[in-house]
Structure 1
Amino acid sequence: MTDDARELADDVQELAEAQRQHWQNTYTTHPGMYGEKPSSPAVHAALVFRAAGAKDVLELGAGHGRDSLYFAREGFTAQATDFRPVGLKQLRRAAQEQGVAARLSTVVHDVRDPLSLPDASVDAAFAHMLLCMALSTKDVQALAAEVRRVLRPGGTLVYTVRHTGDAHYGAGTAHGDDIYEHGGFAVHFFPRHLVDSLADGWTLNQVHAFEEGDLPRRLWGVTQSLPQ
């Protein structure tokens, strides 16, 4: 590894740790900050998963779990993972209140680590704006490989990411690897070639451009599936 590459890796690692604490504090201070309604990508994903015959869904970066709760209410068995225990605690409480606790489980997990799931054990995976957090390209590629490992043949991945056409791309503090920190939040803005590379060996079913929020944030919604 070159000195520049080592410096970049150390910076991204330090940034990721800072972001972990930032998000933990944010969810503690503002429980349920995104509301109770599911995100529009989760509603779309549920339709895709049902059409594919999926029964169980893994959500990566669930936060306080509005989307995992939606999947459970829609009849899927959902496993929610996040590196923030406080959000998952809120999720378990909400699952009890909504009567879906039997269809929903939670696991504290850092996506830079391997998933604690057997090979080919999940029908579908979902991640809304997780891959574009403070993760290096190498981290993102490793995560995509882990998702591929745990999905069954024909399994489907739906994810969303902010891209390099976003208004905040290039703004704030640059951390390299298309990662910029603005207002305390670090984002890895995806170029299109990164989306294509993550679909290598998959069928890339859809890359849909959409906007979300007041800025608005500009995202891609990506749907890809494994061969049967």
Structure 2
Amino acid sequence: MADGERLAGRQRGHWQETYRAHPRMYGAGPSEAAVYAASVFREAGDVLELGAGHGRDALYFARRGFTVHAMDFSAAGLAQLRTAAEAEGLAARVTTTVHDVREPLPLPDASADAVFAHMLLCMALSTEEIHSLVAEVRRVLRPGGTFVYTVRHTADAHYGAGTPHGDDIYEHGGFAVHFFPRSLVLDLAHGWHLTELHPFEEGDLPRSLWRVTQTRED
């Protein structure tokens, strides 16, 4: 088994146990990125969220009137999302799929109005896997659809710390992160209309991130 596959397997197990041990670990309120994305997606009927975790952002989108398809490789996280959606009377607006984004997205071409991914692309994915995922996002987006994603970048305080795995991936505290150079963001925008590359900070460290907004034009 390749080193990348071993790391991916460890990360799946780590996230499963983390969500089981710390329900609602990121709180009930939406991320700043999701609040922004909802304003950008205002004309969309449905949102595909990749890396939805326990669902704080998926629930926010549903409260705002969107139909949400939430994907994550953690069954434990998505189970928490479904329970919360039921409790809030939002179950009709939220569907979930356990899926590893290293595999093609299980959706038809041009089937989503908008796609959102908060810190999913900067998980333990190789540069090749990230490019493949963004190509899949483009495939499932309808023409004119918008993709909003956030990633930690190479100016982050944890860049270079912890266990190195190559390809700008470092593991710290059990979590592996692929830190993005600016060149990778620009490469991923090839063939898209890049409307925004916005730096921001989140959390107590704080984490240094970019928020990227790009639109499929054809």
TM-score of the pair, normalised by structure 2:
0.99
Q: Does 1:45 align with 2:37?
A: yes
> For each residue in 1:34-71, what CA deviation from the matched residue of structure 2 results, as whole angstroms up to 9, or x when unmatched?
11000000000000001xx2110000000000000000
Aligned to 2:15: 23
5+ residue gaps, structure 2: none
> What's the CA shift for 1:183?
1.0
| Aligned pairs for 1:84-103 within 5 A | 84-103=74-93
Aligned to 2:175: 185
Aligned to 1:162: 152
Please give the alpha-carbon distance, in whole angstroms, between the structure 2 residues aligned to 1:123 and 1:226.
10
Matched letter for residue 178 of structure 2: H
> What's the CA shift for 1:13?
1.5
Please give the alpha-carbon distance, in whole angstroms, between the structure 1 residues aligned to 2:163 and 2:54.
27
Percent identity over paired residues: 70
> For each residue in 1:59-101, what CA deviation from the matched residue of structure 2 results, as whole angstroms up to 9, or x when unmatched?
0000000000000000000000000001111100100111111
Q: CA RMSD in A?
A: 0.8
Aligned to 1:134: 124
| Equivalent of 2:206 in 189, 194, 216 | 216
Q: Does 1:82 align with 2:83?
A: no
Q: 4+ residue stretches of structure 1 with deviation over 4 A? A: none
Please give the alpha-carbon distance, in whole angstroms, between the structure 1 residues aligned to 2:144 and 2:6.
37
Q: Describe the SS at the equivalent of 1:142.
A: helix
Please give the alpha-carbon distance, in whole angstroms, between the structure 2 residues aligned to 1:214 and 1:65.
21
TM-score of the pair, normalised by structure 1:
0.94
> For each residue in 1:176-209, what CA deviation from the matched residue of structure 2 results, as whole angstroms up to 9, or x when unmatched?
0000011111000000010001111000000000
Aligned to 2:165: 175
5+ residue gaps, structure 1: 1-8
> What's the CA shift for 1:138?
0.5
